[in-house]
Amino acid sequence: MNQLLSRLAAPLIIALSGCNPIDRNPPDCLVRVFPEQGDSLTVFLFDGAGSVDDMTEPWQLKIRWDAESDGKWETDFSISKQFSWRFPTNGLYSVTGEVQDGAGNRSTNTFIVDVREVFRDSSFTDSRDGRPYPAVLLVNRWWMSENLMYGQKTEDFVITRPNGIIEYYADQNDEYGAYYTWSEATREGEDSVAGICPPGWRLPRKKDIREINDLVYFKKNLGKYLLEDGILGLDLRLSGRFVRSAGKWDGQGSRSSLWINDGTKPGRFKSWALYRNSSETDALAIVYEGDWGAAAYEGWPIDWGEFNYGQVALPVRCVKDYQ
């Protein structure tokens, strides 16, 4: 009888153990980089989303990155598969990605990034007035690394009106560049795509902003990446805004706002804002979306009167598609 039970139990044990196979195979670490070559101002995007495993779902795989393959990992293991980095000097850099599956098995992949002399458009000159601007390549867009300052400065108490002249407001020391109303930024509403940007450049769209958001997704301190001397090289300034109806400057040192436009509707516009809470920059959001008659949003003081987008003057940063 005991021998019979033993014979019956043996295949049962084998069958049960087969339901939960032990994962001993490491995942395949498949990574790519964009662009494949750049300069010391280029922000390279590394992506490990193509990594696969025979037992762990792709979204559950974790990856970490070593930007110079020196054993000092720039990130911890994370399900976020993307990593962005800027190299300080020219040269060939070895970058390593290491992926880990649910059982703790790991595999690595190392590739070379070519960092060359500064690209021609890492700085450019506005042909209209000869003013130079720095620029940085982020994912597949060139971004101005400085607020636009084009046109004729006007006094704070003057309400700009259509007159064929591009006019802007500026703080007392011109510290943050120019501030434009939406009408001025779009050439009195005639061009909501290129606006007042230099030839070949245009106003940012919502898609462009989302690309930046993706670069800093899951990052704890956004200021380290986005503000002056940040990793991305975008050098956003906490320039605030000018409220012309109240004749007041607001948010300087605590928020950065830029005009953006998706070009889908006449008069349709938005702005992108980066807020600083205490000493940390920890909130990034598209905060305005509407038309000229949009309702007031939170944070608009009552004594400034009824909220209207036409009352606000913001800085402009232009972008150019990578070719």
pLDDT in tens, 23-34: 789 999 999 888
Gap between the Cα atoms of 298 and 300, Å rounded? 6
| pLDDT attached to residue 167 | 92
Residues 127-148 have a mean pLDDT of: 90
Gap between the Cα atoms of 119 and 92, Å rounded? 16
CATH topology of domain 32-115: Immunoglobulin-like (2.60.40)
User: Is the bond preceding residue 35 a cis peptide, omega within 30 degrees?
Assistant: yes
In this structure, the number of other CB atoms found within 10 A of the CB of residue 203 comes to: 26
Residue boundaries of the structural domains of the chain: 32-115, 147-321
| pLDDT attached to residue 48 | 93
| pLDDT attached to residue 174 | 77
Residues 263-283 have a mean pLDDT of: 52
Residues 245-253 have a mean pLDDT of: 80
Contact 100, 87 (CB under 8 A): no
Gap between the Cα atoms of 226 and 224, Å rounded? 6
DSSP class per residue in 126-173? -TTT--EEEEEEETTEEEESS----SEE--TT-----SSS-EEB--TT
Residue 308 Ramachandran class (φ > 0 left, ψ -120 to 50 alpha, else beta)? beta
Instruction: Name 71's Cβ contacts closer than 8 Å, sequence gap at least 6.
Output: none
The continuous run of DSSP H or E covering 82 comes out as strand 82-85
| pLDDT attached to residue 168 | 92
Average pLDDT for the chain: 78
Residue 183 Ramachandran class (φ > 0 left, ψ -120 to 50 alpha, else beta)? alpha
| pLDDT attached to residue 188 | 83
Question: What order of strands is seen across the sheet that includes strand 319-321?
Answer: 123-125, 132-138, 141-144, 319-321
Q: What percent of the chain has pLDDT over 90?
A: 34
Residues 48-75 have a mean pLDDT of: 93
pLDDT in tens, 94-132: 999 999 999 999 999 998 998 877 665 588 899 999 999
DSSP class per residue in 215-246? HTTT-S-THHHHBTT-TTS--B---BEEETTT
Structure-model confidence comparison of residues 136 and 290, the more confident one: 136
In this structure, the number of other CB atoms found within 10 A of the CB of residue 165 comes to: 12
Whether 277 has a pLDDT exceeding 90, the answer reads no
| pLDDT attached to residue 20 | 57
pLDDT in tens, 299-311: 566 666 665 667 7
| pLDDT attached to residue 171 | 81
Whether 264 has a pLDDT exceeding 90, the answer reads no
Q: What percent of the chain has pLDDT over 70?
A: 75
